[in-house]
Amino acid sequence: MTRSGSVGLLLVLVVPIAACSPNVPAAAGPSASGGGATSAPEPVGVGPEQLIPAPATRPAQPPMPARYATPLVADHCVDRDLAAPPVADPVVAVLDRSYALAPGDVPPDLVAASTAGLDGASGTRLVREVVIADLSAMRAAWQAAGLTIIVESAYRSYEDQAATFDSWAASIGQEAALLRAARPGHSEHQLGTAIDVTSPGWSGRFGDWAVEAAEGAWMAAHAWEYGFVMSYPAGGQDDSCYGYEPWHYRWIGREAAAEQRRSGLVLRRFLERFLAS
């Protein structure tokens, strides 16, 4: 991008050397006897830098508008309950172990996943209507590849997430549960745009679905093409705040998902750029 602007002209003022240097005596005026003016003495000790005086004022600068951004806590993986930072669209809301949704935050456009052509138990899961077109296209693509993918979980209310977390805590202990499940309000499932997926014959939540099942490998390679991003990738715990979950995908739209993939950022870090200013 180029910027147009006026071209300033540098004006050099030529002034008497005597005015520039205190070492040069002033020229003599007319003699008292009425004789002619004497000639000015030769300049003494005048360098080039003394011929061009420094500008009296700073040149005008281009306007630099202030940029305001929402300040975020640096240690966002510490457990607390801060209100999620404002965003233009909840699709790109930043949630982690510090920032959360309110108990009454419920998407207004929840519909059954059967609207996207999913059947069985998968079809009973609720997602936001804005997800349906891409979920339907992704479902058609994995079926065309001869794969069967099951949507095991989608929208969860604040209360549902509280029960989910309590179940994990009872099973593996509070500290371990904090890395495996979000506390209520902190779950992306409450947005209605996140899904947990699995495949027939794959069991458990402690294996690597992206490696151990063809369906998991397909999702890892292609889900972003339909706007779905793996929120908690391997090696990303410092930024995501949670352990590796190759089954958890969040929809952010195709363009944003492609940009996130190019950026190489964990989704939580990528979403910071959408914070309202």
Amino acid at 109: D
pLDDT score, position 10: 35
pLDDT score, position 186: 98
Judged against a pLDDT cut of 50, whether residue 181 lies above it is answered with yes
Are 185 and 139 in contact, with CB atoms under 8 Å apart?
no
Higher pLDDT residue, 124 or 36? 124
Report helix, strand or coil for 177: helix
Average pLDDT, the chain: 83
pTM assigned to the model: 0.75
- Residue 40 token pair: 């000015």
**CATH class of the 82-274 domain in this structure:** alpha beta
**Strand intervals (E) in the chain:** 82-83, 99-100, 110-112, 126-128, 150-153, 194-198, 228-230, 248-251
**pLDDT tens digit string along 223-255?**
999 999 999 999 999 999 999 999 999 999 999
**pLDDT tens digit string along 45-64?**
544 444 555 555 555 655 65
Give residue limits of the domains in the chain: 10-31+39-59, 82-274
Judged against a pLDDT cut of 50, whether residue 2 lies above it is answered with no
